[in-house]
Amino acid sequence: MPILEGQGVTKYFGGLAAVFNVDFHVDEGEVLGLIGPNGAGKTTLFNLISAALTPKSGEIRFKGRNITGLAPYKICRMGVARTFQTVKVFADLPVISNVVLGSYFGKSRGRSSAEALGEAAEWLQFVGLSAAKATPAKDLTLAHQKRLEVARALATQPELLMLDEMMAGLTATEVAEAMELVAKIRKQGITVIMIEHVMKAIMQVCDRIMVLHHGAKLAEGTPKEIATSKEVIKVYLGEKADAGS
């Protein structure tokens, strides 16, 4: 059974269909890549799943339960965590406090402060930020802030983690490290959906890829299928020019 399913999910911004009638599913334990040109509706779809936005129509089910229209904090407590395209760390708070908020209030809530702090420290180690524990989040590099967001999301004990452009703006080395991190997360048994523009990363890390274009689902398949799909190439590179005529 898929851990997350959507049926006919639709969202308009004014007259523009940002996401239109999209069906999708994510299987337990897989890494699903979500790609598409700018403005294709990828982040909007994330916002719909995490309930930052409410769909106009359609239904989203998590582990068989309809979660459409629930409050974001409830969705988080059910086990769906996310990061943000433009990082939203708690800038003035120390790194460890950023993460411990996840342990305090996520699916993991109800633990003692000591337990929550211990867990937060473990997640910091997991993403490789142990050394920066006491640093205010705003003083981290962009790559580290993105890692911090991942740690904070993981601290809520998700079963499904949504990563929104974790690798955008990172150097080649940082991208490689981020890819390792995704692999490590999957090893923990956490299902991942990731939006990414870094094709190398998407092709290597994902089990399956879904392509959005103008708010609609254009293609879906294994990385190999997507890489060779004519439609996808057309969207990304444009139509072959008819030089002869």
Give the shortest CB-88-to-other proteins separation in angstroms.
4
Q: Which is nearer to other proteins, 12 or 90 (CB)?
A: 90
Determine contact, residues 18/212, Cβ cutoff 8 Å. no
Task: Specify which residues 211 forms β-bridges with.
Answer: 35, 219
Of the candidate residues 57, 88, 204, 228, the single one contacting other proteins (CB under 8 A): 88
Cβ atoms of residues 127 and 148 within 8 Å: yes
Least Å distance, CB 201 to other proteins, is 23
Q: How far apart are CA 153 and CA 87, in angstroms?
A: 12
- Give the C-alpha separation, 104 to 28, whole Å: 25
- Least separation in angstroms between residue 23's CB and other proteins is 24
CB-nearer residue toward other proteins: 13 or 73: 73
Among 84, 143, 206, 212, interactor with other proteins by CB under 8 A: 84
Q: In the numeric block, which tokens belong to residue 195? A: 């939006």
**Binding-site string for other proteins from residue 108 to residue 147, where x marks contact by CB under 8 A and - marks none:** -x---x--x-------------------------------
Q: Of the ranges 98-106, 163-171, 177-185, 200-208, which one interacts with other proteins (CB under 8 A)?
A: 98-106
- Going by C-alpha positions, the residue among 217, 192, 218 that lies closest to residue 205 is 192
User: Is residue 92 part of the contact set for other proteins (CB under 8 A)?
Assistant: yes
Judged by CB under 8 A, the number of residues near other proteins is: 29
40 or 81: whose CB is closer to other proteins?
81
| 213 touches other proteins (CB under 8 A) | no
Residue 101 in contact with other proteins, rule: CB under 8 A? yes
Do residues 170 and 143 lie in contact, with contact meaning Cβ atoms separated by under 8 Å? Answer: yes
- Tell me whether residue 20 or residue 46 sits nearer to other proteins (CB atom): 46
Question: Which of the ranges 4-12, 35-43, 75-83, 231-239 carries the binding residues for other proteins, by CB under 8 A?
Answer: 75-83
Binding mask 35-54 for other proteins (x = CB under 8 A): ---------------x-x--
83: Cα within 13 Å, side-chain hemisphere: 32
Site for other proteins in 149-178 (CB under 8 A): 152, 156
Structure tokens at 100: 């411990």
Contact indicator for 47, 86 with CB cutoff of 8 Å: no
Q: Which of 156, 186, 145, 152 is nearest to 80 (CA)?
A: 156
CB-based contact 23:7 (threshold 8 Å): yes
Residue 210 CB burial class (10 angstroms; 0-12, 13-18, ≥19): buried
Q: How far apart are CA 37 and CA 158, in angstroms?
A: 28
Residues that bind other proteins (CB under 8 A): 50, 52, 71-73, 76-77, 81-82, 84, 88-93, 97, 100-102, 104-107, 109, 113, 116, 152, 156
